[in-house]
Amino acid sequence: MSTDDDGKRPYQPQPAGPLSAEAREAVYHTIHTRRDVRDQFLPTPLPDDLVRRLLEAAHAAPSVGFMQPWNFILIRDPEVRQRAWEAFSSANDEAAELFSDERQALYRSLKLEGIRKAPLSICVTCDKDRAGPVVLGRTHNPKMDVYSAVCAVQNLWLAARAEGVGIGWVSIFRDEDVRDILGIPDNIEIVAWLCVGYVDQLYQEPELALKGWRQRLSLDDLIFKDGWGRKGD
Amino acid sequence: MSTDDDGKRPYQPQPAGPLSAEAREAVYHTIHTRRDVRDQFLPTPLPDDLVRRLLEAAHAAPSVGFMQPWNFILIRDPEVRQRAWEAFSSANDEAAELFSDERQALYRSLKLEGIRKAPLSICVTCDKDRAGPVVLGRTHNPKMDVYSAVCAVQNLWLAARAEGVGIGWVSIFRDEDVRDILGIPDNIEIVAWLCVGYVDQLYQEPELALKGWRQRLSLDDLIFKDGWGRKGD
């Protein structure tokens, strides 16, 4: 373990406490107004410094054993986005067939145009081999590396909300299609395809709730105390 | 699809844009100063309204098909936390043996006392059956439900940072031990054990970096353009 130039141990914790009331409110506002954007993207290009801030926020996510297993593939090429849209569209047709008739009509009415409309897509991946075979904190839960990459996605999503940028997470892809389109090696796990673009409006509640797909659950019903199913006092 | 009392469609998007510079700064400050806390918890109990805000932040996470698959088991009972610590401790001994001699000494020097020191632990779980067998957005990626629960963890973590509350994610458990201690049914996936408590200091960089376990990677090396391995201009 090293010391800094003054001979002090550089890893002493620094004072930290709650943020100001205004700053806390900004964080909660961001968390509660974040939405999954399916369609309302503006075509305006995103400035490089803004994209950089989003990626720095993602890179600041927690990661198991500090392995930072993520990569970020920035996709602006319209041809690549068109191929991705076709792969989505084909998978989406397969998906629609899995729902009953009434649900299927609603499913098909939910537009998802972010892949083509948003000026940027970001594919987030996970390299499970990045820190060798034995990773601190992954020894008893092999999924912790992928969870780290998901935390990076959520950091990016919240930073985007603060910037007035919408994110849509597209999960309706056959894995092999995205792998083929982006040339992703077999040992790399594909975690997320994010559509990224400015928005000037957002739904006040999740779109799937507003359009009758599924409603918000009561938080109280989801909380237990000291054991599964125990509601406590 | 319903309309509201005025006959207007209630699901029209509302105006939304970037937050103020101060609010954006608060969000970035929270993201960049968040730490995984292993040891520096204060024993001060957490007020109920604060815990509620953290859980509301978690419950505001994105979820695939709006399935909200999470539950939150709040663990304050010292006996339950002691059992969890013993389960961690046993798994941690197993984990230490997996590292080479030099790494093992460093591994063993990294204290993890949050399970007993923090006044609250929260176990976050995922119920894959919550929205039936066919879930919008999960049809082609069966892990999307667990990813949703991880997004809830990250929301909670950032809200906690804003509140001056530290979080430590303990992943060194045998799954069956936590399942047994908390009585979690076999069909429920255990996602995270979080230690939650006030902190008055945080490391300026991740503890694992400061203590020489592993250093931060260069973000530039992790970014590709339009395809895997392509650095573009």
Q: What is the three-class DSSP state of A130?
A: coil
Give the span between the Cα atoms of B110 and A159, in whole angstroms.
Answer: 31
Q: Which residue in chain B is spatially nearest to A124 when comparing CA positions?
A: B223
Confidence of residue B2 (pLDDT cuts 50, 70, 90): very low
Angstrom distances, CA of residue B8 to CA of A109, A163, A207, B44: 19, 29, 16, 49
Give the pLDDT confidence score for residue B81 in this predicted structure.
97
The reply to whether residue A16 touches residue B164, judged by beta carbons under 8 angstroms, is yes
Task: Annotate A170-193 with DSSP letters as a single string.
Answer: E--S-HHHHHHHHT--TTEEEEEE
pLDDT in the model for residue A3:
39
Partner A contacted by B96 (CB < 8 A): no
pTM of the predicted model as reported, rounded to 2 decimal places: 0.95
Burial label, B3 (beta-carbon count in 10 A; 0-12, 13-18, 19+): exposed
pLDDT at B15 (0 to 100)? 84
Mapped onto helix, strand or coil, the DSSP state of residue B77 is: coil
Confidence of residue B232 (pLDDT cuts 50, 70, 90): confident
Residue of chain B nearest A176, judged by CA positions: B140
Distance CA A72, CA A74 (A): 6
Position A20 pLDDT exceeds 50: yes
Helix axes B78-96, B175-182, angle to 10 degrees: 170
Q: Which residue has the tokens 């066919």?
A: B134
Residue A90 touches chain B, beta carbons under 8 Å: no
Q: In DSSP terms, which residues pair with A189 in a beta bridge?
A: A126
Q: Tell me the C-alpha distance between A194 and B223, whole Å.
A: 15
Tokens of A7: 């001979």
Q: How confident is the model at residue B6 (pLDDT cuts 50, 70, 90)?
A: very low
Indicate the SS3 state at residue B223.
strand
Nearest to B39 by CA among B110, B91, B95, B96: B110
Q: What is the pLDDT of residue A2?
A: 39
| Residues in chain A closer than 8 A to B168 (CB atoms) | none
pLDDT number for residue B223? 98
Q: What is the pLDDT of residues B80-100, one digit of tens each?
A: 999 999 999 999 999 999 998
Mean pLDDT, residues B216-231 taken together: 98
DSSP readout, B106-173?
HHHHS---HHHHSSEEEEEEEETTTT-S--TTTSS-TTHHHHHHHHHHHHHHHHHHHHTEEEEEE--S
CA angle B57, B33, A26 (to 5 degrees): 45
Q: Which helix (H) or strand (E) holds A123?
A: strand A120-127
Give the pLDDT band (50/70/90) at residue B197: very high
Q: Complex ipTM, two decimals?
A: 0.95
CA distance B147 to B165: 24
**Mean pLDDT (whole number) for B45-68:** 98
Check A182 against B228: CB less than 8 A apart.
yes
Residue A159: which of B31, B165, B227 has the nearest Cβ? B31
Topology classification of domain B54-213? NADH Oxidase (3.40.109)
User: Is residue B111 very low, low, confident or very high in pLDDT (cuts 50, 70, 90)?
Assistant: confident
Three-state DSSP state, B5: coil
Check residue B10 and give its pLDDT: 57
A 166-225 residues with CB < 8 A to B: 169, 171-175, 182-185, 188, 191-192, 199-217, 219, 222-225
Distance CA A22, CA B146 (A): 32
Mean pLDDT along residues B183-200: 98
What tens digit of pLDDT does each residue of B137-148 get?
A: 999 999 999 999
Query: According to the 3-state scheme, what is the secondary structure of A6-69?
Result: CCCCCCCCEECCCCCHHHHHHHHHHHHHCCECCCCCCCCCCCHHHHHHHHHHHHCCCCHHHCCC
The whole-number average pLDDT for the span B157-162 is 98
Look at A56 and B219 and tell me if their CB atoms are within 8 Å. yes
pLDDT, position A213? 95
> Quick check: B9 pLDDT over 70?
no
Question: Which whole number is the average pLDDT over B21-49?
Answer: 97
Nearest C-alpha neighbor of A124 from the set B34, B106, B147: B147
- Interval A185-209 mean pLDDT: 96
Tell me: the pLDDT tens digits for A54-93? Answer: 999 999 999 999 999 999 999 999 999 999 999 999 999 9
Band of pLDDT at residue B11, cut at 50, 70 and 90: confident
- Amino acid letter for position A229: G
pLDDT in the model for residue A5: 43
pLDDT (0 to 100) of residue B178 = 98
Beta-carbon separation of A223 and B199 below 8 A: no
pLDDT at B109 over 80: yes
| Mean pLDDT of the region B39-56 | 97
Show the tokens assigned to A146: 């992928």
- The whole-chain average pLDDT of chain B stands at 93
| A21-33 vs B48-59: helix crossing angle, rounded to 10 | 30
User: What is the dihedral sign for C-alpha B187, B188, B189, B193?
Assistant: negative
* Residue A189, Cβ density class (10 Å: 0-12 exposed, 13-18 middle, ≥19 buried): middle
Whether residue B4 is predicted with pLDDT greater than 50 in this model: the reply is no
Considering only CB atoms, B14 lies closest to which of A68, A202, A216, namely: A202
The helix or strand, by DSSP H or E, that contains position B210, with its residue range, turns out to be: helix B207-210
Q: Which residue, B226, B209, B195, is CA-closest to A60?
A: B209
Instruction: Measure Cα distances from A106 to A115, B79, B129 in Å.
Output: 20, 49, 21
Mean pLDDT for A166-179 is 97
Chain B residues close to A188, C-beta within 8 Å: 228
Interval A177-202 mean pLDDT: 97
Cβ–Cβ gap A71/B223 under 8 Å: yes
Sheet holding A165-170, edge to edge: A165-170, A188-198, A120-127, A70-75, B223-225
Instruction: Tell me, yes or no, if A147 comes closer than 8 A to chain B by beta carbon.
Output: yes
Chain B residue with minimal CA distance to A9?
B210
| % of chain A exceeding 70 in pLDDT | 95
pLDDT category of residue B233 using cuts at 50, 70 and 90: low
Q: Rounded mean pLDDT of A174-191?
A: 98
Q: What is the mean pLDDT of residues B16-25?
A: 96
- A96-100, B29-33, B147-151: least confident range: A96-100
Amino acid letter at A153?
V
